[in-house]
């Protein structure tokens, strides 16, 4: 299953995918259920993980609004010490997340 099986996002950056409610445009937010109705998790790439300069794969769990910007709650692996890895869960600005 190349690409993780979730599709390629039609070339739209993650921060550009917003759901617009026709009644109130000020509360639009990124689509969280793009992976399917059975679960909200979605594969993503963290462009600046806490331990490295190289992008790292992660699991996007949910979105929240932070002022006028969006943040995603992401889980990914980080290297604590050489050969020792741990899971990291953090809120990351949407501009540091991609799905490609």
Q: Does residue 13 form part of some domain?
A: no
> What is the overall mean pLDDT for the chain?
77
Please check whether residue 1 lies inside any domain of the structure: no
Q: What is the pLDDT of residues 15-39, one digit of tens each?
A: 666 554 444 444 444 554 444 557 7
- Dist. CA 54–CA 47, nearest whole Å: 7
26 within domain boundaries: no
For residue 15, is it within any domain? no
Residue 100 lies in a domain: yes
For residues 67 and 24, the model is more confident at 67
Is the pTM higher than 0.75? no
What is the arithmetic mean of pLDDT over 73-95?
94
pLDDT of 49 strictly over 50 = yes
Domain hosting residue 82, numbered range: 40-100
Of 49, 38, 44, 37, give the one whose Cα is nearest residue 60: 44
Within a domain: residue 51? yes
């Amino acid at each position: 299953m190349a690409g993780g099986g979730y599709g390629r996002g039609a070339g739209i950056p993650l921060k550009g995918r917003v759901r617009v409610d026709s009644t109130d445009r000020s509360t639009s937010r990124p689509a969280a259920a793009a992976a399917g109705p059975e679960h909200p998790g979605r594969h993503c790439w963290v462009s600046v993980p806490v331990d490295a300069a190289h992008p790292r794969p992660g699991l996007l769990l949910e979105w929240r609004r932070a002022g006028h910007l969006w943040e995603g709650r992401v889980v990914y692996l980080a290297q604590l010490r050489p050969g020792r890895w741990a899971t990291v869960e953090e809120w990351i600005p949407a501009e540091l997340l991609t799905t490609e």
